[in-house]
Structure 1
């Protein structure tokens, strides 16, 4: 499996660790940067590039997932999710890593480089990369609704049925 990885300065050391260790586990690592430490760098371009690499590989029939890293993983997840067709999930424990794949068929995991020790981060990455999508009908349906909204700005028969209302305490 090919794994596209990207970070900013806050996840650079972890990125290098993950690339080395995941390679040992048989993964083909594709590094989207940065090349060197720069405390003023910006994560969006790196993370978007990695997500685009995943999307392109998958469109070409290749088995491919991605990992984006930063201080918290939040902004990196947001950046990866800007790539049409990509679902990136913030992972903070083994359950969220597995569920991101099993229920959401996430193609990219986001991880906070300042939130996890190296070996814990490796464990989370391995859990994410190894977990298959369940293919359960309810999950397929929900992912389809996300894709429909991404394409059209609507979820036919669903979005218009939602009626926002003010909360009143009882």
Structure 2
């Protein structure tokens, strides 16, 4: 997949995603991206994903235009952790299509990847699709993102349509 432009990419994982994170750091660097490894720095079977995934999401939110990748066994807990950071939209992707749609329709800044679900080559393709796909900017997508952001800041859910 052709890269549209180089971006800063923050990556965080737990022990289950450690080897894939190391692969992706090297792979994305070779493609010209500005890669920041948020950790862990060493393989530790007793580490927990929330600290690394929350730190990754916080760095992405604080660095507009950057994107992030959180990696674990399934990617589920990692994506959930990233979504607890105010302003972060993280999506679990299991194909290039779901990765692209996360960017195109949801303007996701972080993608969750399951290291036990994909080979390194497959994961690389999924992450490349995520990084290469811009947000469409479509009105309906922007409206929905605003509704989520408003709920996040006010705690008030959007009204349910009568139709």
TM-score between both structures, scaled by the size of structure 2: 0.93
Q: CA deviation at 1:153?
A: 1.1
Q: Deviations over 1:28-75 (max 9, x none)?
A: 1111110111111000000000101101111xxxx3000000000000
Deviation at 1:4, TM superposition (A): 0.3
Structure 1 partner of 2:137: 135
Given the alignment of the two structures, is residue 38 of structure 1 paired with residue 44 of structure 2, yes or no? yes
In structure 2, list runs of 5 or more residues that go unmatched.
1-6
User: In the TM superposition, what are the counterparts of 1:15-164 in structure 2 within 5 Å?
Assistant: 15-58=21-64, 63-156=65-158, 158-159=159-160
Distance in 2 between residues matched to 1:33 and 1:78, nearest whole Å: 18
User: Number of paired residues?
Assistant: 156
TM-score normalised by structure 1 residue count: 0.89
CA RMSD, 1 decimal: 1.1
Q: State the shift of 1:8 in Å.
A: 0.2
Aligned to 1:8, which of 14, 32, 38?
14
How far 1:155 sits from its partner (Å)? Answer: 3.2
Return 5+ residue gaps in structure 1 as ranges: 163-170
4+ residue stretches of structure 1 with deviation over 3 A? none
Which protein shows a greater Rg?
Answer: 1
Shift of 1:154: 1.3
Structure 1 residue 27 displacement after superposition: 0.5
CA–CA distance in 2 between the matches of 1:44 and 1:52? 12
Distance 2:113 2:126 in 1: 9
The residue aligned with 1:168 is: none
